[in-house]
């Protein structure tokens, strides 16, 4: 019997590791990997809440949380695709993927 607390602490930890990755790495591709970790943490959170409260019930809709999770999956996939395309295109132009070096608009 696994209490809900374990899943929640796990998802918070995964989210914070992803956040650390986004805030502290130079390479843009690794920043994107951190974003994917954060989105996965959110998914775990949603599914844990679905399982512990709404899965077996027939009064509230058990599929509402699943629709939410499906949309998060889709959004993560779309954002990863476009983000990587942008990184590759910026690499072609500037020969670097270090996020600090893309500072043309800096005042």
Partner 1 sequence: MILQIFFLIVALVTLVSAFLVVTARGLMHSALWLVLALFGVAVLFAFLEASFFAVVQVLVYIGAIAILIIFAVMLTRRTKDDSGARLIKGWWVAMLASLALFAGLVVAMSTWPGFQIGPGAGPDPAILPQFGMDLVDPNKYAIPFEVASILLLAALVGAIYIAAGRKEGKG
| Contacts of partner 1 in 5-24 (CB under 8 A) | 5-10, 12-21, 23-24
Q: Provide the minimum distance between the beta carbon of 74 and partner 1 in the complex, in angstroms, as a whole number.
A: 4
Q: Provide the minimum distance between the beta carbon of 104 and partner 1 in the complex, in angstroms, as a whole number.
A: 17
DSSP letter, residue 55? S
How many residues in the shown chain lie near partner 1 by CB under 8 A?
Answer: 76
Q: Provide the minimum distance between the beta carbon of 105 and partner 1 in the complex, in angstroms, as a whole number.
A: 18
Cα 20 from Cα 59, distance rounded (Å): 40
**Measured between alpha carbons, how far apart are the two ends of the chain, in Å?**
56
CB 7 within 8 A of CB 44: yes
């Amino acid at each position: 019997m696994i209490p809900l607390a374990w899943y929640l602490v796990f998802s918070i930890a995964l989210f914070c590791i992803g956040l650390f990755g986004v805030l502290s790495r130079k390479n843009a591709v690794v920043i994107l990997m951190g974003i994917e970790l954060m989105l996965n943490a959110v998914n775990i959170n949603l599914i844990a809440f679905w399982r512990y409260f709404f899965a077996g019930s027939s009064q509230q809709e058990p599929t509402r949380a699943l629709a939410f999770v499906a949309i998060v999956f889709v959004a993560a996939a779309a954002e990863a695709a476009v983000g990587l395309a942008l990184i590759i295109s910026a690499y072609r132009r500037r020969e670097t993927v270090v996020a600090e070096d893309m500072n043309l608009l800096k005042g």
